[in-house]
Amino acid sequence: MNIVEKEAQIVKKSLNVDNTILKALIKCLPVGIFIIDSNGKLLEVNSLVYNIWGEFQGIENIQQADKFQGWNSSSGELICGNDWALVRALHGEISYGEVIDILRFDGRKATILNSAAPILDDKNNIIGAVATISDITKIRDLEKELIQHKEILKNLIEMKTHKLININEKLSRKITINEQLTDKLRHMEQLNLIGQVAAGLGHEIRNPLTTVRGFLQIFQEDNNFQNYHPIFSTMISELDRANSIISEFLSLARVKEVNKAMVNLNEILSELSPLIQAHAHITSKNLEVILEDNLKDLYIDENEIRQLILNLCNNGIEAMGPNKTITLHTYTENNQVILKVKDEGSGIPKNILDNIGKPFLTTKENGTGLGLATCFSIADRNNAQINIETNSLGTSILVCFEE
């Protein structure tokens, strides 16, 4: 036995490796165990080491640690000979649970958990080192699978949540549209009811009015009543006013007969503009008309649309101070023909806007509050929708004709 072997014998003894209990323990522990002396010589390697690394031969000293190929599992860094925990333990370092991907001696890959610590004698001298390894390949694979499943689950939840949000948004939109439609329906029903009552009464009232008007005209022309001439004029114009209110009432009725044909909105506006111009001129206001070329024809009741335009223009002109301009504009947007009546008035007050289009809503001393209600009713019968944009600089009423 040479000196080195003798030394090993002494270390082995001081490590008590010969101890039968320790030997049995090393055999049955569920981890691989390496024991080396202070020179790095392998004293003990249990069978689990071979299970984990695969069979290897001819490695007797830790200086040959380069033959063990491993990579830090999280950083991917190659572990060189001196980086192994067992080698570092010979310098006094204790390491615990290092996760290392290894290339086994049979060429397969595995992942191990590696721990090591120095072995000290009574005087705290390092007389060797011990390392344990355990195979965590399956746990790592399961972990990876779990992460993948988690990712899939996360994506699935995100997708479903997104879908739910979409459905929710669609539902909210539908509810809003429904509420708007219900509102509109209620409004139209209201107008219709008023119109129907008016239709019944209107006929009965109009006939006697016409008779009275006729007699008044005769008396007006009679020389015997010359002194009363201005009074007859007032009476006739008051009767005309009553008559026009009845006409407005009648046009609220949905049952009203409509007389539709293909008509061009530009033509109606061109015909009406001298009349509107004259009305604006009396109160020192201007009219501007911008008509789109080649505007497509609409299937509408020409007379009703005339009334709608006049009502909107009257409102616009009445809302403005002198020298302001009312603009009539036709154009096409999203395939829809649009008539815009824009004024430079002070806008529609909020409390009026909330109830706009309801009959008898007026802020004018001599207003009936039927102008806009009539416009809504006409728009409804002629497949158009009325949108209002208003602020302190003016109001634009947009009449959008459906295709």
Ligand X SMILES: Nc1ncnc2c1ncn2[C@@H]1O[C@H](COP(=O)(O)OP(=O)(O)OP(=O)(O)O)[C@@H](O)[C@H]1O
Q: List interacting residues with ligand X (CB under 6 A).
A: 315-316, 319, 343, 345, 348, 352, 361-364, 367-373, 395
> What is the rounded CA–CA span in Å between residue 15 and residue 167?
73
Q: How far is the CB of 351 from ligand X (least distance, A)?
A: 10
* # of chain residues touching Mg ion (CB under 5 A): 2
- Residue whose entry in the numeric block shows the structure tokens 């009305």: 279
Q: What is the largest CA-CA distance in the chain?
A: 164
> What is the rounded CA–CA span in Å between residue 178 and residue 175?
5
In the complex with ligand X, the residue whose CB is nearer, 121 or 183, is 183
Interior CA angle at 370 toward 368 and 374, to 5°?
Answer: 160
Q: How far is the CB of 389 from ligand X (least distance, A)?
A: 11
19-27, 47-55, 344-352, 366-374 -> range binding Mg ion (CB under 5 A): 366-374
> What is the rounded CA–CA span in Å between residue 272 and residue 328?
11
Q: Which does 348 bind (CB under 5 to 8 A by kind): ligand X, Mg ion, none?
A: ligand X
Q: How far is the CB of 402 from ligand X (least distance, A)?
A: 23
Count of C-beta atoms within a 10 Å radius of residue 89? 24
Q: How far is the CB of 309 from ligand X (least distance, A)?
A: 13
In the complex with Mg ion, the residue whose CB is nearer, 106 or 365, is 365
Does 374 bind Mg ion (CB under 5 A)? Our answer is no
In the complex with Mg ion, the residue whose CB is nearer, 118 or 371, is 371
Does 359 bind Mg ion (CB under 5 A)? Our answer is no
Interior CA angle at 145 toward 139 and 150, to 5°?
Answer: 125
In the complex with ligand X, the residue whose CB is nearer, 24 or 201, is 201
In the complex with Mg ion, the residue whose CB is nearer, 251 or 315, is 315
In the complex with ligand X, the residue whose CB is nearer, 87 or 319, is 319
Q: How far is the CB of 390 from ligand X (least distance, A)?
A: 7
In the complex with ligand X, the residue whose CB is nearer, 264 or 395, is 395
Q: How far is the CB of 313 from ligand X (least distance, A)?
A: 9
The residue at minimum Cβ distance from ligand X is 371
The residue at minimum Cβ distance from Mg ion is 371
- Residue whose entry in the numeric block shows the structure tokens 């000290």: 120
Residue 24's identity, in one-letter code, is A
> What is the rounded CA–CA span in Å between residue 390 and residue 394?
6
Does 315 bind Mg ion (CB under 5 A)? Our answer is yes
How large is the C-alpha radius of gyration of the chain? 50
Q: Which does 160 bind (CB under 5 to 8 A by kind): ligand X, Mg ion, none?
A: none
C-alpha torsion angle, residues 103, 108, 112, 117 (rounded to 10): -50
Q: How far is the CB of 317 from Mg ion (least distance, A)?
A: 10
40-48, 285-293, 315-323, 392-400 -> range binding Mg ion (CB under 5 A): 315-323
Residue 119, burial from CB neighbour count under 10 angstroms (0-12, 13-18, 19+): buried
> What is the rounded CA–CA span in Å between residue 49 and residue 113?
12
In the complex with ligand X, the residue whose CB is nearer, 152 or 275, is 275
Contact 253, 242 (CB under 8 A): no
Q: Which does 319 bind (CB under 5 to 8 A by kind): ligand X, Mg ion, none?
A: ligand X
Q: How far is the CB of 252 from ligand X (least distance, A)?
A: 11
Q: Which two tokens stand for residue 286?
A: 């201007």
> What is the rounded CA–CA span in Å between residue 187 and residue 191?
6
Q: How far is the CB of 367 from Mg ion (least distance, A)?
A: 6
37-45, 50-58, 182-190, 314-322 -> range binding Mg ion (CB under 5 A): 314-322
Q: Which does 382 bind (CB under 5 to 8 A by kind): ligand X, Mg ion, none?
A: none
**What is 313-356 written as a DSSP string?**
HHHHHHHS-TT-EEEEEEEEETTEEEEEEEE-S----HHHHTTT
Q: How far is the CB of 256 from ligand X (least distance, A)?
A: 18
In the complex with ligand X, the residue whose CB is nearer, 15 or 370, is 370
Binding-site member from 371, 386, 390, 398 for Mg ion (CB under 5 A): 371
- Sheet with 336-343, strands from edge to edge, namely 286-290, 325-333, 336-343, 394-401, 384-391
Chain centroid to CA 194 = 42
Strand pairing category for 286-290 and 325-333: parallel
Binding site for Mg ion (CB under 5 A): 315, 371
